[in-house]
Structure 1
Amino acid sequence: MITGGCLCGTIRYEMDNPLQFARNCHCAMCRKSTGAAFATWGYVEVQNFRWVQGEEFLGHYPSSPEITRTFCEVCGSNLQFLAMRASAAAFGLALGTVDSDPGCKPMRHVMVGSKAPWFDITDHLPQSMLAAPDD
């Protein structure tokens, strides 16, 4: 079982299976929401995920018409990247909120056309200007 939660411990979650398709997103919204050069998201199947504590403290911010981001209303930790589609069977989970090994590593950098000018990508992961549709 994989567990995790926010910085202050108010919100906790668990899931049965490892995360999938982790990627580093360099879009301006991910940079601003994290305060970092990029956000690392791993994808979780909705059916394998459950809140075990503090779900009532989960804040929602619609960062665009298609995307809602969730966060802890107490400490501000980013938690989820939700695509607002009726068929969404998975969502992005902030990899930094996982307590131990999430079962995957980032497989690519996306939205690199928006990356911070002060950050250089120095690893050998593939890079794409947009989010890859197969992720």
Structure 2
Amino acid sequence: MDQTYRGSCLCGNVAFQLEGSFAKFYLCHCSRCRKTSGSAHCANLFAPGAKLTWLKGEKEVSFYHLPDTRFARSFCKTCGSMMPTDVNSGQLVVVPAGCLDSEVALKPQAHICCDSRANWDDGFEDVVCFSDMPS
């Protein structure tokens, strides 16, 4: 069943709407995703055939494609927040989960590219959790 989701960047210059449904939700640990996220992995939702509409700031979205690969990213030129990427003209929209303002019922289905996982990316269940920034 198709739904409508909304999202935006950190600075608020870019906002979008996605009409469709998410088929997959993966946490990717490849070195490329780690570099673009600055973290252990990227959390990406995949929406085949979804309609992506830029509500504001489409000209503020920059697109980067790593030559000779299928790797690509869209991001806000001002704040660097990753934004959805429309792959193959509407055949697939890849949405970084963190840019969504709407809730998503789908939970991550798999960790992928685990052979590329960072050596420090293990045992997080044992790390202390704080509800806010620690003092």
TM bracket, shorter-chain basis: 0.7 to 0.9
The residue number in structure 2 matching 1:56 is 59
Aligned CA RMSD, in angstroms, stands at: 2.1
- Distance change in 2, residues 1:106/1:121 (3 Å): farther
State the Cα deviation string for residues 44-78 of structure 1 (Å, max 9, x = none). Answer: 23542211110000111112432221100010011
Larger radius of gyration: 2
Matches within 5 A, 1:9-88: 9-65=12-68, 66-81=70-85, 83=87, 86=88
TM-score by length of 2: 0.79
Counterpart secondary structure, 1:16: strand
Residue pair 2:52, 2:86 contacting (<8 A) in 1 also: no
Runs of 4+ residues deviating >6 angstroms: none
In the alignment of these two chains, the number of paired residues is 121
Aligned-residue identity in percent: 28
Moved more, 26-35 or 114-123: 114-123
TM-score by length of 1: 0.79
Residue pair 1:29, 1:63 contacting (<8 A) in 2 also: no
2-structure distance, mates of 1:25, 1:3 = 23
Could you tell me which amino acid in structure 2 is paired with residue 77 of structure 1? Answer: S
Matched, 1:116 2:118: yes
Matched, 1:93 2:102: no
